[in-house]
Amino acid sequence: MRLHILGICGTFMAGIAALAREAGHSVTGSDANAWPPMSTQLEALGITVMPGYDPAHLQPAPDVVVVGNVITRGNPAIEYVLNQGLPYISGPQWLAENVLHGRHVLAVAGTHGKTTTTSMLAWLLEHAGLEPGFLVGGVPVNFGVSARLGKGRHFVIEADEYDTAFFDKRSKFVHYGPRTAILNNLEYDHADIFPDLAAIERQFHHLVRTVPGEGLLVVNGADANLKRVLEMGCWSGVEYFDDARGWTAQRQGQGFEVSLRGTAQGQALTPMAGAHNRSNAVAAIAAAVHAGVPPQAALRGLESFRGIKRRLELRGEVRGVQVYDDFAHHPTAIAVTIAALREQLGDGGGRILAVLEPRSNTMRLGGHAETLADSLRDAALSFVYARPDLKWDAQGALGSLGERLRVHAQLDALVADAAAQARPGDRLLVMSNGDFGGVHQKLLDALGG
């Protein structure tokens, strides 16, 4: 079958492309923008990506058009699809019908930590010999790809609450039918589609409704918003983490001690720093145990987990200044990422200089403007890119940071300023959910100049 994917360079749709190609389909795609790591993954798979959304990309007609949620009415490609009566389907529905049906699906949902937890869980199953399939919104270093079919009966998926497509406004994750579902945390996000937190809680409740009675919800017991979700109705078993009723992690030396209802299970070692990653790890362990992995085997698997691209990824070092890349784009994620880097470096590990692009729809619309300054408190300096499409005054909203705030409307000026302020031993922590105009290499070049 020949598939053409609209919006192919998004993290989810690139994974769909990889799975379809592995299944033997012919795959092409269109997108307005492409950047690593997904663009390089598609190139390595030999999948042709056509720039823009020219209807000519759909000639001759493919057997089916897979539509990403970035595509809206008025897009020339989708208008052509509708006018010509071409068969089309959303990415989540294609995945459910062609990959997930009949498998033990383990879904990882939450505002933060989905990619890391999904990657950890897939690796724990792999290390235990279960050969799972997976689709992750990033590239786990252990696997080198964001998606694969797998030979085993398990499939691990990052379960996003964002809407499915222009013709299906349900959250993506209601399509997946998980037998094991992790609910990591829940905060307000996606201001472009959700009016308030209650609307997101309702979508999480819809996910809970799809888990069978013999299935398991692995729930962050410390999250009050998730407590409200469960109070709407729960028909499955529940295992808690970050809660004395279930799995907990206590930092110990270079690792942490894992306990289940107060009984020690053993020590876990992982290169992933920060309290949030300890939380991600115990959630992944709990889900792996439900899939049949013994706790000790899960702990051993965690030791060889190597992380994910764009999650505190060191991109280079020049003159004693290291440049890190991270996908953080929500105030909570920004704060825990800075805290994780500080924990990794230790108290005497030099300054952290934050370089932030408020790029997500919620960020650009100002949905997090009031809480963003607090998330940057622990950075010695914060360089914020005031994009042309930013709908709020960054200098005014973040003014409480005082002299530690440096706002720039031009990317080149931001790069020059950050490079001039950096000194040996500093870490430049770049945070964006996009390519940020290639700022990582620009910083390295400026530091070297």
Where residue 219 sits, what CATH number does that domain have?
3.40.1190.10
Band of residue 147 on the pLDDT scale cut at 50, 70, 90 = very high
Task: Categorize the per-residue pLDDT at 273 as very low, low, confident or very high, splitting at 50, 70 and 90.
Answer: low
Any domain includes 308: no
Structural domain of 27: 2-92
**Mean pLDDT of all residues belonging to the chain:** 93
What's the pTM value of the predicted model, to 2 decimals? 0.80
Share of the chain above pLDDT 70, in %: 98
The reported pLDDT for the residue numbered 188 is 81
Q: Which residues pair with 258 in a beta bridge?
A: 249, 266
pLDDT in tens, 102-130: 999 999 999 988 999 999 999 999 999 99
Q: How far is the C-alpha of 137 from the C-alpha of 116, rounded, in Å? A: 9
Task: Let me know whether 338 and 280 are in one domain.
Answer: no
In a shared domain, residues 239 and 356: no
Do 150 and 228 share a domain, yes or no? yes
The neighbouring-strand residues paired with 322 are 317, 427
Sign for the pseudo-dihedral over CA of 156, 430, 315, 306: negative
Q: Exposure of 94 by Cβ count < 10 A (0-12 exposed, 13-18 middle, 19+ buried)? A: buried
Read off the CATH number of the domain in which 21 is found: 3.40.50.720
| Residue 431 belongs to a domain | yes
225: pLDDT strictly greater than 70: yes
Check residue 49 and give its pLDDT.
93
Q: What pLDDT is stored for residue 271 in this prediction?
A: 64
Shared-domain flag, residues 144 and 286: yes
Residues 119 and 263 in one domain: yes
Which of 33-42, 274-283, 311-320 comes out lowest in average pLDDT?
33-42
Kindly state whether residues 238 and 332 are assigned to the same domain: no
Q: What is the pLDDT of residues 72-81, one digit of tens each?
A: 999 999 999 9
Residues 192 and 324 reside in one and the same domain: no
Q: Is the pLDDT of residue 52 over 80?
A: yes
Region 258-282 average pLDDT: 86
More confident residue, 344 or 267: 267
Q: 196 and 262: one domain?
A: yes
Contact 173, 109 (CB under 8 A): yes
Using CB atoms within 10 A of its CB, is residue 145 exposed (0-12), middle (13-18) or buried (19+)? middle
Q: What's the pLDDT tens digit per position in 80-105?
A: 999 999 999 999 999 999 999 999 99
Boundary-marking domain end, from 250, 280, 303: 303
Last residue of a domain, one of 271, 303, 335: 303
Let me know whether 268 and 124 are in one domain.
yes
| The domain boundary residue, chosen from 261, 277, 303 | 303
**CB neighbours of residue 275 within 10 Å:** 15
Which residues are within 8 A (CB) of 288 and not within 5 positions of it... i.e. 6 or more apart? Answer: 121, 124, 125, 128, 298, 301
User: Does 297 lie in the same domain as 189?
Assistant: yes
Please tell me the total count of domains within the chain: 3
Q: Considering only CA atoms, which of 177, 174, 176, 178 is closest in space to residue 163?
A: 174
In this structure, are 426 and 363 located in the same domain? Answer: yes
Residues 245 and 347 in one domain: no
